[in-house]
Amino acid sequence: MNTQMPRLCFGGSFNPIHHGHLLCARAAAERLGFEGVLLIPTAQPPHKPDQTQLAEAKDRLEMCRLAVAGDNFFSVSDLEMTRSGPSYTLDTIRQLKSNGWGTVSWLIGADMLNYLPKWHRPLEIIQEANLVVMARPGWQFDWGKLGSPYQNLRQNVVEAPLIDISATACRGRVAAGLSIAYLTPPAVCQYIADNGLYR
């Protein structure tokens, strides 16, 4: 890793990863001058207690790897797969720092911003990491609902392309026997089919 031009970290369940994730993360990273994006699939998402539709961590990790194979702009970390218990963002940020990252920049979606105060130790997250908020064109923020510690994030908002693809829709189409071609990279489509995911 080039520490002078760090990658932008992008965590998520990626259940499954799709083109919306990849295109929006790339756009945010390019606009802010990052050298690339580090995808960090979460092992046990703490904010998703109902995990009946959650593919196993190893499958989501492999789908991320397949999705970006051959693209040097993206890399994939299994950092959260090596820990037990809920995959807390703060723990990952601190682990990255202990691995030599001077500054950790972490990408979140605008839809997660209002939920941020409910994250595990959120004030420590915003103190220890540079949070980048990715917003769709025309997205309206309700900053009034956020306390004063979060107001500085206003300057960290970056606009992302408007791409109407969701992991929920991908899973729904697979369950209905419909194609998800063009919603996610072909290798991910094939992996889902070969492993009978989301049926």
pLDDT of 4 reads 43
In 53-159, where does DSSP find H-type helix? 57-68, 89-98, 110-113, 122-128
Whole-model pTM: value is: 0.93
Q: What angle do CA 163, 167, 173 make, to 5 degrees?
A: 100
In the chain, where does DSSP find H-type helix? 19-32, 57-68, 89-98, 110-113, 122-128, 167-175, 186-195
Please state the length of the chain.
199
pLDDT of 171 reads 97
Strand order in the sheet with 105-109: 74-76, 37-41, 8-12, 105-109, 130-135, 157-159
pLDDT of 161 reads 93
pLDDT of 139 reads 87
pLDDT digits (tens, 9 = 90+) for 7-19: 999 999 999 999 9
Give the H or E element holding residue 75. strand 74-76
How is 102-123 classified by DSSP, letter by letter?
A: SS-EEEEEHHHHTTGGGSSSHH
pLDDT of 132 reads 97
**Domains recognised in the chain with CATH numbers:** 8-164 (3.40.50.620)
pLDDT digits (tens, 9 = 90+) for 59-115: 999 999 999 999 999 999 999 999 988 899 999 999 999 999 999 999 999 988 988
- Integer Cα distance of 79 and 125 in angstroms: 17
Mean of the per-residue pLDDT values for the chain?
93
